[in-house]
Structure 1
Amino acid sequence: MNPTTARPAKALGLFTLSMISVSAIIALRNLPTLAKNGFSIVSILVLAALLFFIPVALCCAELASGWPKNGGVYAWVKEAFGEKAGALAVWLEWIESVVWLPTVLSFIASAIAYVVDPVLAQNRYYMLAVMLTVLWSGTLLNFLSTQTSGWVSTLGIIAGSLIPGMIIIALGSMWFATGQPVQLEFSTAALLPDFSSLSSLSYFTVIALGFAGIEVAAFYVQDTENPTRTFPRATFISAAIIITIYVLGALAIGIVIPKEDLNLASGMMQAMTEFFKFLHMPWAVPVFAIFSVIGGLALLNTWIIGPSKGLHASALHDDLPKITQYTNRNGSPIVILLMQALIGSCLISMNLFIPTMNQFYWIFQVQAAQLILLMYLMIFLSVIRLRYTQPGVQRIYRIPGGNYGVWIVAGTGALFCVAAFLLGFIAPPEYQFDEKTYTLTLLSGIILFSAPPFLWQWWRKYLAQN
């Protein structure tokens, strides 16, 4: 994702830089998926932060400080491996956001259902209609200026993520402190993931998706006060804040809703219904749902325009058909936005054919995570390669420890990407997938969604020769 706001004239301090990372990543829609892991989510998130979140943030900071060009991921990977590789990287960033759309849209549609009638959250035709309406409305909004969509995201993050997040953590704490029935096991054994079961480790794949957007803060390294000192500290602080919010929010849901009854799309509203029933405040459920809808819309708005602008930078280098270069008078890449909405509509329609909402939500989470993991793998490899091919380029921030340090940091992240990518092919038993169909679906999706840049390059070469 690329920031669309102007760079601040004043140097950014530790607190501001930390908050940029937090606001770019925190999403309440992730809480039900995290809650499925029970108490072990604490150790899973800490491991994911050490092996993935922090390495990505540090690598992106070095790349952004050495190659502060428009295009972000596209520019970095292009410097390391050439134009074709850069085009593939930014395409993966964009197509991942498209494949991810069904998850956030189903979250929004489920929250809207709790405003009207919670039963609607199980109605496929209601879910499809609302998801399509929200998707196309968000697309049309981004035909307007970046400033218009920008303030929508800013207000939405405050009203729809920070406030509801604090509420759900407070209610979970109250539920636990007053001795209500707890659906989780709190013990040393429950704290550790089941490393003997590969299916339980597949959650590392979707947790990587929950950290997507880490690279946003890297774009501000040029404006950071004493970046060599400030950026690593801000990364660790933001990691601690994100882990704390995710852990407390997930546990708040997990203590009140049994794992087997938890719905991935509407799990947060399931928990809030129980909390407010306990408080004799049923009227508060639709109010909370409205705030959740606002947060979901803000998140959707950010991800509709961000990756599209990155892909547009690639299109301007003829890495896509010329029609994708077209923008309207407000500078919005409307052809790319329309492509995104059309593909998203096709994916959303799969809701009518996939047996359960949990299966629908899970498979798109995993597919999106696998695509973004491939992009992050290219980032890790790029920062290593550029240390050797362009050692003389001045970097405001460098990963400490010389070349050994960059191999440790980027190597750790790269290994995590490969492991999490492969674990995604293992279906958790609670979702009752047919294993062969599940694996074949994901593998086919990776090939299908990754193919367009290669096909376009082949077509260009064919036209040049004929």
Structure 2
Amino acid sequence: MSANTKSKSGAVVKGAKGGTGNLTTIALIMMNVTVIAGLANDVQQSFYGLSSVTLFLLGGLLFFLPTGLVAAELASGWSQRGGIFRWVGEGIGTFPAIACLLILWFQTTFTFGSGIPSMSATIGFFTTKYDWAVDFAKNSHSWKVTLPIMIGWLAYYWFCCWLATKGVKTFSNIAKYGVILGTFLPLGVMTILAVVWICQGNAPAIDMAPSNLVPKWEGMSTLALAAGVFFSFAGIDMNAAHIKDLKKPNKQFPLAIFISMILALLIFIVGTLIIAMVIPNKQINLLYTLYATYRALGATIGFPDLYLVFCWLGMLNSFAALITNLAGPSYMLGQAGRSGFLPKFLQNNNKHGMPSRLMYTQMALMTVIAFIVFLLPNVEGFVALITQAITILYLTYYVLMFVAFLRLRYQQPNRPRGFKVPGGMVGAWIVAGVGIIACVFGIVLAFYPPAQLEAEVGSGMTYDLIIIGLLAFVLIACVLIYRASRKHNWSDPTNQFAPFTWQIEGLKKPGKALSNIPTALLSEGQNPMGQPIRHLYDPNEMIDLPSSKDPDAQAAAAAALLKKHGITEPGEPAKVALVGDPNAGMKTIAYEPEPVHTDDNGNMLPTPTAADVKAAAVPTDAAADAKRAQARAQALEADVQDYADEAHALEDEAKDDAALAKAEHRVQVDEAEASEAAAKTAKPTLSGGTSTPSKPAGPSSN
């Protein structure tokens, strides 16, 4: 059966063997690698030398793999707009759902807020004066020196924010080429030059003995930076929503996850090991070690100023990342916010469809975050602190996702899913349990000031207090915004978010629902989130889900369910996910409005049944039928012309009859007038005093 088939009932079934097939496995792999892999955390992990290989492997197995599998199941079962907002809201509730989006928004804010002082400290690497650039980076903490440069970078960031409000088309090409030129090209050049560097007889700065693959334990603080490993692998949930575009999700998605993990590990491990081999551990600096690596490798081919080339390419990459991330989280939060979770003031969309006020608010907060740098001894410590705070936020985000996954397995056990984590409930607990433990361990690690940066971060108490302060700020903001949304009617009736299934099923919060109705069917024809539910469903209502190999029965079952709830004409087109066999993937059925059937006199006829359609004659010679139809059309055209000629003749005859009738009437009038005149001129006859008029003379007998 082809990817797109049409059932006998008239419903178009896309991807009858699985998903739509619009996305290949290779395409999904590259999307995953683009979102996840990069050089940002390689410098931080290079402190661990060869043992960084083990840390990245553990991060991949204990965090990346569970995250990808769980996100795949959630995306296939609850595929409506919203991503993690939808999943957490379905499993835990509304407040954790909106908190996830706010966490993502604040995480982006902290990331790029910390980039402002970092870029200010490394301004010298945009020149050929390398030694001066290093010295400036080490001594750039003085606000008298750094503040003017920070103001310049702030102006640049505000310009990027303004550019991002102009819409995706304005910067999509810049973003695409920025990632290629700023990430993949430098990594490829680093790898080639590292081989040349070793062949020239340079000794690695780390001991490459296999025994060093085991991380050395000297207390929790020595592993504090390892929490960044989990942050490196974050983001796979963003592409899980594309599972419905795969032809065979159950096979393709796990394969894509596994290959993506291998490629990401290669990028992380290769980049980290090259830095660790070239730059001695005691010389590693979070701000400029990457540039030092470029310079050392460039010297192998007589071009030490190679760092300058990649510094400017990195600028292009940061420009692309900045405007993309300024747009993405704010756009997602703005979409959910119109469901009633953000004040009306922040719900605006400009003419380019971008939430400009929310984006400018984020930029203002970034500006505040940038100035926290002056509370720590130097910029390097500030970057480490912000990275740890971001890691805690992101890992909390994923803990909520894992918990929602487990709750949905118990609360909505029969809800169809196009993909399921293998192993039943035991497999679900193992995968989610490993993910939760990894996240909690990473969160605990992040609270320990890194031993490698003891002098840079200063007092451990100051370090933890700032992190706790940032986290408390995010938590309080989430609580206040949510409580305010409960007291005000901020819902936009035109928002595009479907209600949660538990709202459609009349529940006040997520609870037990044994229904097996697919979520896309439940949301069909409903008012948007924040508005009254239009079609209520029973949380335990069951329908007969036919085999996924029978698209006709699937289409009939879906149509019958919708009609039962008064939905006779679904959307334009209405797309309903109906999964008969969870192992077979997802099917998307698009219903077309029923045609109106009339007889020759214009009287409405009932819609033909399936039996009527099946009994209708099927042409065996289309060409002959077409010729016969053309001949009938020509004959009908000739008949129409004959009728027209006859009508003209009748019209002329009617005109002649009218003229004759007028002439006859005129003759009668003339005769009447003549008789009257003759009677007046005749003499009267006397008889007994009574006179009688004489009879009018008839016509002459001559």
TM-score range, shorter chain: over 0.9
Superposed CA deviations along residues 277-336 of structure 1, whole A, max 9, x for unmatched, are 343213433222111222222222332222112211221122222212111011111121
Question: Paired residue for 2:95?
Answer: 84
2:118–2:383 Cα contact (<8 Å) kept: no
Matches within 5 A, 1:356-375: 356-375=378-397
Of the two, which has the highest radius of gyration? Answer: 2
- TM-score scaled to structure 2, two decimals? 0.62
- Does 2:478 align with 1:453? yes
- Does 2:177 align with 1:166? no
| CA deviation after TM superposition for structure 1 residue 381, in Å | 0.6
- Amino acid paired to 2:473: L
- Amino acid paired to 1:56: T
The DSSP-based 3-state class of the residue aligned with 1:255 is: helix
1:327–1:333 Cα contact (<8 Å) kept: yes
Separation of aligned partners in 2, 1:401 and 1:104: 43
Query: Is 222-231 or 449-458 further displaced after alignment?
Result: 449-458
Question: Paired residue for 1:381?
Answer: 403
Give the number of aligned pairs: 457
The DSSP-based 3-state class of the residue aligned with 2:239 is: helix
Query: Is 340-349 or 253-262 further displaced after alignment?
Result: 253-262
Separation of aligned partners in 2, 1:267 and 1:21: 27
Separation of aligned partners in 2, 1:375 and 1:385: 16
* Bigger RCO (CA 8 Å, 6+ sep): 1
Query: Is 182-191 or 123-132 further displaced after alignment?
Result: 123-132
- Does 2:325 align with 1:297? no
Separation of aligned partners in 1, 2:117 and 2:273: 22
Which of the residues 59, 62, 75 maps onto 1:51? 62
| CA deviation after TM superposition for structure 1 residue 23, in Å | 0.3
Question: Paired residue for 1:30?
Answer: 41
Which of the residues 40, 55, 63 maps onto 2:74? 63
Superposed CA deviations along residues 217-244 of structure 1, whole A, max 9, x for unmatched, are 2021110121101111111111111111
The DSSP-based 3-state class of the residue aligned with 1:28 is: coil
Separation of aligned partners in 2, 1:9 and 1:304: 31
| CA deviation after TM superposition for structure 1 residue 204, in Å | 2.8
| CA deviation after TM superposition for structure 1 residue 130, in Å | 4.8
Against the structure 1 CA distance between its residues 89 and 234, is the aligned structure 2 distance closer, same or farther, given a 3 Å change threshold?
Answer: same
- Does 2:227 align with 1:227? no
Question: Paired residue for 2:274?
Answer: 252
The DSSP-based 3-state class of the residue aligned with 1:395 is: coil
Against the structure 1 CA distance between its residues 271 and 144, is the aligned structure 2 distance closer, same or farther, given a 3 Å change threshold?
Answer: same
- Does 2:284 align with 1:262? yes
The DSSP-based 3-state class of the residue aligned with 1:426 is: coil
Question: Paired residue for 2:24?
Answer: 13
Against the structure 1 CA distance between its residues 413 and 246, is the aligned structure 2 distance closer, same or farther, given a 3 Å change threshold?
Answer: same
1:111–1:289 Cα contact (<8 Å) kept: no
Question: Paired residue for 1:440?
Answer: 465
- Amino acid paired to 2:459: D
- Amino acid paired to 1:458: R
1:48–1:204 Cα contact (<8 Å) kept: no
Separation of aligned partners in 2, 1:251 and 1:324: 45
Question: Paired residue for 1:427?
Answer: 449
| CA deviation after TM superposition for structure 1 residue 352, in Å | 3.4
Against the structure 1 CA distance between its residues 271 and 127, is the aligned structure 2 distance closer, same or farther, given a 3 Å change threshold?
Answer: farther
Separation of aligned partners in 1, 2:314 and 2:488: 50
- Amino acid paired to 2:196: M
| CA deviation after TM superposition for structure 1 residue 29, in Å | 2.1
1:72–1:310 Cα contact (<8 Å) kept: no
1:312–1:333 Cα contact (<8 Å) kept: yes
The DSSP-based 3-state class of the residue aligned with 1:144 is: coil
Separation of aligned partners in 2, 1:393 and 1:138: 43
Superposed CA deviations along residues 314-367 of structure 1, whole A, max 9, x for unmatched, are 211222222121110111111211111011111112233421222011000000
Provide the identity percentage.
Answer: 26
2:114–2:370 Cα contact (<8 Å) kept: no
| CA deviation after TM superposition for structure 1 residue 168, in Å | 1.4
| CA deviation after TM superposition for structure 1 residue 177, in Å | 2.9
Question: Paired residue for 1:393?
Answer: 415
1:106–1:265 Cα contact (<8 Å) kept: no
Query: Is 354-363 or 145-154 further displaced after alignment?
Result: 145-154
Question: Paired residue for 2:336?
Answer: 314
Separation of aligned partners in 2, 1:109 and 1:297: 15
Query: Is 335-344 or 143-152 further displaced after alignment?
Result: 143-152
The DSSP-based 3-state class of the residue aligned with 1:317 is: helix
Question: Paired residue for 2:124?
Answer: 113
Against the structure 1 CA distance between its residues 101 and 55, is the aligned structure 2 distance closer, same or farther, given a 3 Å change threshold?
Answer: same
Against the structure 1 CA distance between its residues 133 and 184, is the aligned structure 2 distance closer, same or farther, given a 3 Å change threshold?
Answer: farther
2:295–2:305 Cα contact (<8 Å) kept: no
Which runs of 5 or more structure 1 residues have no equivalent in the other structure?
1-7
| CA deviation after TM superposition for structure 1 residue 132, in Å | 1.5
